[in-house]
Amino acid sequence: MAQRVLVTAGAAGIGKEIARTFAANGAAVCVCDINAQALDAAAKEIPGLKTIVCDISQRQDIERMVPAAVAALGGLDVLVNNAGIAGPTAPVEDTNPDQWEAVMTIDVIGTYHVTRLAIPHLKKSPAGSIIVMSSVGGRFGYPNRSAYCTAKMGLIGFAKTLSRELGQYNIRCNAIAPGAVGGERIERVLQGRADVEHKTLEEEREAAMSIQSLKRFVDPKDIAALILFLTSDAGKSISGQVLPIDNDAQTSS
C-alpha cells in the first residue's frame, strides 16, 4: 500500500522537496503551510498533492488541520515535522522576547501539537514513522542564535522520547540535523550574523564553510532522500537517532 504522508510547512523550500520526493515515489502526500498562494503553486507542480492552509503557531489551526489531512489521505503512515522559523540573531541580553518566544511556539510547541494529534492515526499504520526536523544548531550552540539552538536541541529530546514511547506500536521516530541548506533562508541567516558581528556577507559565508569538510551548502534533495530512506522499509530498524546531514560540520566556532 502506498504511504500516506503529512509534511508541515511543505509549500516551499525543504518541505516542498520532501513532498515532491515522496509523491515521485508513489506516496499520497498532504502538505500544510501558512502561505495559501505557495500551496496553490506547489499543488500545480506536484501531481496529486493535497494542501491545507495552517498556521503552526495557532493550536486551533493545528487541531483543524491534522484531522483534515488524515481524512484527505485516508489514514497516516508518515509525519514529517518540518515547520520552523530561524528566529532572531542577537545576543541573549539583546534579544526581543516576543521573537524568542515565537521560535518556541512554532518550532517546539507547534511540533508537539501536530505530533500528539497524529499519533492516534499513526498507531493504526503497520509501519508508522515520525521525522523531526532539528539542525546542526541542535548539536552545537551558536553565538547570537539562542532561540533557534534551544528549540532545535529541545526537538532532539522530543524525538528521542517519542521513539521510546511509541516503539511498542511499531512507530519509529528520528531527528534530522541538517547543516546550512542552500536557498534564500540561509542567505537571510548569514546576513543577520554579518549585521550583528559587523562583518560582510561573504565573510560569514566563508565562516560557515570553514566548519565543514565538504565546502558546499546542503542540497534539499539530499535531505528529502534521507527522509525517504528512514521512513521506508529499508529504515525499519532505525529509531531514536539524530542523523546529521551537514557536510561534516564539526564545531560551532
Hey, which residues are catalytic here? 148
What is the residue whose three cell numbers read 561573504?
202
> Which residues are registered as beta bridge partners of 172?
129
List CB contacts of 206: < 8 A, sequence separation 6 or more: none
**Inter-residue contact 68 to 119 (CB < 8 Å):** no
**Inter-residue contact 33 to 7 (CB < 8 Å):** no
User: For residue 26, is it left (φ>0), alpha (ψ between -120 and 50) or beta?
Assistant: left
* Alpha helices (H) in 173-240, listed in sequence order: 184-197, 201-210, 220-230
What is the residue whose three cell numbers read 561534516?
248
Give the integer Cα–Cα distance in Å for 140 and 124: 36
Which triple of cell numbers denotes residue 21? 520526493
